[in-house]
Every structure is written in C-alpha cells, then in structure tokens.
C-alpha cells in the first residue's frame, strides 16, 4: 500500500507542476500578446497623429 501512496503522491506532484507550468506559459503568452497589441495600437495612433499634425502645417 505504501508504494501505491508514493506513486499517487508523485503523480499528484507531477500534475500540479504541469498545471503550474501551463498556467505560467499561458499567462506569459497572454501578457506578450497584450503588450504587442498595445505597442501596435500606440504606434498606429502616434503615426495617425503625426500625419494629422503634418497635414495641418
């Protein structure tokens, strides 16, 4: 019975580690995507503002 308990504990630990790693990867991916989107939006807005100011002059 002890061996089975050890196996279960190891499996639980492994699954927890996998879940934690997957969550961390997902969070990183989401953050990276949001950051990229924000940067793109900012660049586009800046470009539009620049063009408008240039046209006024």
What distance in Å separates the CA atoms of residue 27 and residue 21, rounded to the nearest whole number? 10
The C-alpha atoms of residue 44 and residue 10 are separated, in whole angstroms, by 50
| Cα 48 from Cα 57, distance rounded (Å) | 15
- Report domain extents, the chain: 1-57
Tens digit of pLDDT for each residue in 8-17?
Answer: 999 999 999 9
Q: Which 3 state secondary structure label does DSSP give 36? A: helix
Length of the chain: 57
Write down the pTM of the prediction: 0.49
What pLDDT, in 10s, does the model give residues 34-48? 999 999 999 999 999
């Amino acid at each position: 019975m002890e061996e089975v308990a050890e196996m279960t504990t190891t499996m639980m630990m492994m699954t927890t580690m996998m879940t934690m790693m997957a969550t961390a990867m997902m969070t990183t991916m989401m953050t990276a995507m949001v950051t990229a989107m924000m940067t793109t939006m900012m660049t586009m807005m800046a470009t539009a503002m620049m063009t408008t100011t240039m046209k006024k002059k």
